[in-house]
A and B are shown apart, each in its own frame.
Chain A
Amino acid sequence: AQSVSQHNHHVILSEAASLELGCNYSYGGTVNLFWYVQYPGQHLQLLLKYFSGDPLVKGIKGFEAEFIKSKFSFNLRKPSVQWSDTAEYFCAVNTARKSSGDKLTFGTGTRLAVRP
């Protein structure tokens, strides 16, 4: 079965600092990759997704992620964070097999706190 690892559980940054959150998955076949964000008191929202093509994907609010197949990684980046980026970030994988439908396997999440 596939699994997703997010190595940073808590990250604290000052505004304008650069952000990189790690995500690694274990599955040898074709995958679809996602980053979701959950702002305090809100529901999960999609930040960005990768299905195929250019491995560098851009999402909302200035976030981007790079799929590196050889490293089974899909790290999330933002050049300059803002206080409003304070949230919990989840990496997720879908194995793109018909039998699994769109079932997502999530990492344990990374809590980001941005100091003003």
Chain B
Amino acid sequence: GAGVSQSPSNKVTEKGKDVELRCDPISGHTALYWYRQSLGQGLEFLIYFQGNSAPDKSGLPSDRFSAERTGGSVSTLTIQRTQQEDSAVYLCASSFGPSSYTFGSGTRLTVV
């Protein structure tokens, strides 16, 4: 597609439930990133996929967070047993180099 597509755009979930957030990167972009944007915290790196290499999971805040990228394209970020502190905007970006970095519009997650 023309841009990075994320779904859903908004998600309200009850504490303790699992959620899945989806990212469709730009076709041809080999790298895919997940970031979290919390109020007053800026953007926090979560995980990075590059081609067929093992993902860089160094930013995942706990083992409740996981992500996969199927077929080198679509990625799903899963948060298990959601907590209120997980409420944030989850941003996906894709690139094939630093000058082509493109962000999606994000998924706003609210845990109630």
Q: Chain A: residues with CB nearer than 8 A to chain B?
A: 6, 32, 34, 42-46, 49, 51, 90, 92, 94, 96, 100-109
Q: B residues within 8 Å of A by Cβ?
A: 31, 33, 35, 40-45, 48, 50, 56, 91, 95, 97-99, 101, 103-106
Shortest Cβ distance from residue B66 to the other chain A in the assembled complex, whole angstroms: 18
A96 to B97 Cα, complex, angstroms: 11
CA distance A91 to B82 in the complex (A): 30
Q: What is the count of residue pairs linking A and B with beta-carbon distances less than 8 angstroms?
A: 53
Report yes or no: B43 in contact with A106, Cβ–Cβ below 8 A. yes
Tell me the bound Cα distance from A96 to B98 in angstroms. 9
Inter-chain contact A49/B103, CB cutoff 8 Å: no
Q: Which of B45, B97, B99 contacts A103 (CB 8 A)?
A: B45
Contact assessment for A105 and B31 in the assembled complex, using a CB-CB cutoff below 8 Å: no
Q: A46-B101, A49-B98 are in contact. Are A101 and B50 (CB under 8 A)?
A: yes
Residue in A103, A107, A108, A109 whose Cβ sees the most chain B Cβ within 10 Å: A103
B95 and A107 within 8 A (CB): no
Can you name the residue of chain B whose Cβ is closest to the Cβ of A96? B98
Question: Of A51, A103, A107, A108, which is within 8 A of B56 by CB?
Answer: A103
Instruction: Give B32 Cβ to nearest chain A Cβ, in Å.
Output: 10
B residues less than 8 Å from A103 (CB atoms) = 33, 45, 48, 56
Chain A residues with Cβ under 8 A from B44's Cβ? 106
Other A-B pairs beyond A44-B91, A102-B31, 20, CB < 8 Å: A6-B42, A32-B98, A43-B91, A43-B103, A43-B106, A49-B99, A51-B99, A101-B50, A102-B97, A103-B45, A103-B48, A104-B33, A104-B43, A104-B45, A105-B45, A106-B35, A106-B42, A106-B43, A106-B44, A106-B45
